[in-house]
Structure formats: C-alpha cells, structure tokens
Structure 1
Amino acid sequence: MSDEQIIDLLQKKEYEGLEMLIDIYGYSIVTTIRAILNQSVEQNYLKDVENAVFYKIWENASLFDSTKSSFKTWILTITKHCSIDKKREIIRSSRMEPVELLPEQGETFDPFEKEHFLDLVSSLSSEDQLIFLKYYYYKEYPEEIAQEFQLTKETIYARLSRGRKKIKQALEGSLS
C-alpha cells in the first residue's frame, strides 16, 4: 500500500486508512514517542500521546502537503510535537504546589523559577528544548544526551551554550 493510498483514505475519513497507517508507521510513531517520553514518570502517558497522534493525523490529513515533506516526515513531526507538548505538561504539573503550601511572598518575577524557565526555553528549537530539559531538569550527563541524539558530547555543550545565550537575550528583552 502506498502513502498516496493511505492519505487518500485518511482524507476520505475511511478507517482502513488509519489501520494501514498504524500497520506501516505505528512502530516509528511509538518509537519516537518513547524516545521523547523516556523518564519513568512519563511512562503512564505513552498511550495518551499515541492516541493523540493518531487522532491529530486523522483530523489533519487534508493538510498534508507532499511538496513540503514526505508523509513519514509529516507524521513523525506531528508525533514529536505531541510528545514534547505532553513532556512540557508533565514537567509543569509536577512542579506545581498547592497554594496553601506556598510561603507568603510578594508578587515578584523570578525568571529562574521553573515555570518561567520553561517559558524561556520555549524560544529554543524543539531538539534544543529537549537537550535543556534532559541536562538541567533530569540531570542527565552530556554523554548520555549525546548518545541519545546521536551527536557528539562537544555538540551538546555547544547547543547548551548557544541556548543559554539565546535565553539570556530573551530574558534581557523581557526585563527591559
């Protein structure tokens, strides 16, 4: 079955297209999700993200443009974005404390509070956001991150450095 046939079936909202999509690309989708949601606390969300990806592909099949990318690239881009969104949601929700447990304090903006930091990191590319999260929040070693992304350790350090500079510029822009 060709990608064109799958796309045609999906655009016509025929379930056979979704079944073929799962048969052909399901493994790649699940592998991508697991690569991004790779922390133990995130394992409970794998099926949710998988379902969200298939639903998003189903709903947006008419938006696929073969002149911009291959079908597989389009699918895996949707998968990556859904997975990163869920990762951000998990991180944000795990950092929240009930209001009654928070100490009394004035309304001050601390850009290095975790919630604000996640907003600052959003100015980076998706891959650099993951590198930052793995390094600063999950305390993974650069060697581990490099291996996972199939990059050199030096490249990881360079991306962290460039990312810090970009965040600093964004921070200086928001404070002035």
Structure 2
Amino acid sequence: MMEDGQIVGLFWARSEEALRALDETYGGLCRSLALNILNDRRDAEECVNDAYLGLWRAIPPARPAPLRTYLCRVVRNISLNAYYKKHAARRSAAGCVPFEELEECLAGADETVQTLETKELARSIERFLDTLSREDQVIFLRRYWFADSCRQIGGRVGLSEKNVTVRLARMRQKLKERLAGEGVSV
C-alpha cells in the first residue's frame, strides 16, 4: 500500500495509477462507510466511484492531509446525499441514518444552521466529546461518523447491542443538555 503523500503525488501528476492506489489503500473503508449509510451495495459502489471522481477533480489544486480523512468526508457526504434523495418521501425510524438520531438534540437542522455556523457547532460537539471516556468517544464516533450499527459497535468494543443503544441515548441527552447550556437552540 502506498503512503498518502505518494497517492496525492500521483493525483498531481494526473496519473490514473492514483485511482488504483487510492482504491487499494482505502477502497474497503470507503465501501464500508457508504454501505453502512445506504444499505445497498450498488448505491454504495456508485457513491465510492463518485467520491473518487470528486478527488480526481479536486486534486490538484488541493493537497489533502490526511488523505484518509478527506476521502472519508467526501464518501460520507455523497452517501448521505444519496440516502436523503432516495428516502426523502419515506423516512422510517428503523432505517434512519444515525445522524438523524441527533436531530432531537439540535432542535431541527435548518434552525441550527441558521442560528449557529457549522464550524461553531462542530467545536461544541468536539468539546462534548472531550468530556467522554475513550470508549464512549469510540461508540459516539462509530455511530455518528462511520454509521456503524449498534451491533457492530458492540462487537468492536466488547459490549452488548443493548448496552451500546443505552449509552448512545444517554450521550445524546448529555449532548442536548450541553448544547442548551452553550446557548444552542434545542
């Protein structure tokens, strides 16, 4: 596997080898992330391909560092957009994207975006994460960033699915209280 700098260098050289190296190094991670959000292999593969095309267009001039984080963000955003587009008319609680679980803490995404810049909200969530134990940080991020199921998270950290579900509910409540304390509309 190639280092990030080498892969970015291939993008700058406009070598198609960049896409092969990117897929070899991060393809599994990207497909897993997209599949966790979309629950459809074909749609997930399409989103990953769209992300690769997006990187091809963005590099150059961009020099993302670290590449993994940049790529995951692109895959996640494309996958979420595809999910919302596909499920706009028929959302169900059982099949919701994990980030939708946080909406109860944020009063309504539109309202929050209007009252608080996205970066400020991100800083508030980062401060909240700093108050959590390492294990709870992993649980929170695996659920709300990587869209892992509670069962997958439980297997990763050695807890039951029910325990993970309860911890997430408690963390959402703490986050809601913290955001209210910081003046974010809840």
Query: What residue ranges of structure 2 are gaps of 5+ in the alignment?
Result: 91-102, 113-120, 127-137
Of 173, 176, 181, 1:164 maps to 173
Structure 1 stretches of at least 4 aligned residues deviating more than 4 Å after TM superposition: 1-6, 117-120, 122-125, 132-135, 154-160
CA deviations 1:152-172 (Å, max 9, x no partner) are: 328946565334311343357
Contact residue 34 and residue 47 of structure 2 kept, 8 A:
no
Contact residue 34 and residue 46 of structure 1 kept, 8 A:
yes
Aligned-CA RMSD value? 4.5
CA deviations 1:108-127 (Å, max 9, x no partner) are: xxx64xx937997x8557x7
Matches within 5 A, 1:79-158: 79-97=71-89, 112=104, 116=108, 123=122, 124=125, 128=140, 131-132=143-144, 140=149, 142-147=150-155, 150-153=156-159, 156=164, 158=167
The amino acid of 1:145's aligned partner reads I
Partner of 1:64: 63
Of 24, 27, 46, 2:24 maps to 27
Of 40, 47, 56, 1:42 maps to 40
Q: What displacement does 1:31 show?
A: 0.7
Point out which structure has higher relative CO (alpha carbons under 8 A, 6+ apart): 2
TM-score between the two structures when normalised by the length of structure 2: 0.52
Partner of 1:101: none
Task: Return the alpha-carbon distance in structure 1 between the equivalents of residues 152 and 2 of structure 2.
Answer: 37
TM-score between the two structures when normalised by the length of structure 1: 0.54
Aligned residues: 146
Identity of aligned residues (%): 8
Query: What residue ranges of structure 1 are gaps of 5+ in the alignment?
Result: 99-110
Which structure: larger Rg?
Answer: 1
The amino acid of 1:8's aligned partner reads G
